[in-house]
A and B are shown apart, each in its own frame.
Chain A
Amino acid sequence: MPLFNARVQVSLRPSVLDPAGEATRAAAARLGVEGVKRLRIGKAIELDLEAPDRATAQARLELLSDRLLANPVIEDWSLDLVEAG
């Protein structure tokens, strides 16, 4: 059965405050890195998935992302999917 590599990017929705991101932005300034105007912390989840075809893999990952990996109340997600070579 084909193997797919996937990467799900979870980010806080723009309307949600990100105090950890703000603290990290302040640390960037203390490091001496100037000009960081925006810093938001999300999550990246990498996974390998066996599925009969690409459409099935896509459907399973969408369900997983929407129902477990991200909480749609506070987070958006995006999905990259490639068939393993």
Chain B
Amino acid sequence: MTVGIVVFPGSNCDRDVAWALEGCLDIPVRFLWHEERDLSGLDAVVLPGGFSYGDYLRCGAIARFAPVLEEVRTFAERGGPVLGICNGFQVLTEMGLLPGALTRNRDLHFLCQSSELEVQPGRCRWLGGYGAGERISLPIAHGEGRYQVEPEELQRLEDQGSVVLRYVANPNGSRGDVAGLSDATGRVLGLMPHPERACDPITGGLDGRRLLASLLG
């Protein structure tokens, strides 16, 4: 079991993810520089938070053209589990692996706080460790996390069980209170909250552990 962690210029949660996986859960990791094309031997890929390529143009817009993401797309199409956290979620929507877009928070503030979430794991393989309707607390830290999607598309996502994480008290104006979204297969998960920051007792809260530990099966 080895997990690849993509590192773009401007990623800043890559080492946190590595600590959560390797330091807290004993899951070996390998960093994947944005120009890397070799994903052999990896069992999952994480796109971490940060400001990839400075988030110029739009969050995740430039990252989408990174060589490593061509391989991540192929990896996902072959059934590999992919997790996008915060900026990683933004990148997944820009790539079209998840629908919708993340836009400027409703009240313009950069939000750095705990957020209570309701989990509806459905078929999402990353959330198998949580009960349906379970409430957990994870940190959020973003300025552009307001999930935007047209109402018909949101209904379609609800119907297929893709809305797997919802804010209990919507902090940013996300449509449908969406905090995290799974693809139809349940193997790709994008979320604005940071599970990797809730894995080590020293930083407070352990609700993110089961998400990353899901890789251990």
Contact = CB atoms under 8 A, between A and B. Distances in A.
Interface of A: 15-20, 23, 68-69, 71, 73-74
Determine chain B's interface SS by DSSP, over half rule.
loop
Contacts of A69: 57
Contacts, number: 35
Contacts of A68: 57, 61, 65
Most buried by B among A15, A18, A19, A23: A19
A17 to B, nearest CB: 7
B108 A71 contact: no
Given A15-B150, A71-B61, A73-B148, A20 B104 contact: yes
B107 A19 contact: yes
A31 B148 CA distance: 32
B103 A16 contact: yes
A20 B106 CA distance: 9
A20 B65 CA distance: 27
B191 to A, nearest CB: 18
A19 B94 contact: no
Interface string B91-110: 00110000111011111100
Q: Is the interface of A mostly helix, strand, loop or mixed?
A: loop
**Interface-central residue, A23, A69, A74, by most chain B CB under 10 Å:** A74
B15 interface: no
Contacts of A73: 93, 99-101, 148-149
Contacts of A16: 103, 148
Contacts of B107: 19
A16 B149 CA distance: 9
Contacts of A23: 108
Listed residue (A20, A23, A68, A71) with the most chain B CB atoms within 10 angstroms of its CB: A71
A12 B210 CA distance: 38
A71 B106 contact: no
B173 A17 contact: yes
A69 B58 CA distance: 9
Given A71-B101, A73-B100, A19 B106 contact: yes
Contacts of B94: 71
A19 B94 CA distance: 21
Interface in B135-149: 146, 148-149
Name the residue among A18, A20, A68 with the largest chain B CB count within 10 angstroms: A68
A17 B106 contact: yes
Interface string B44-88: 000000000000011001000100000000000000000000000
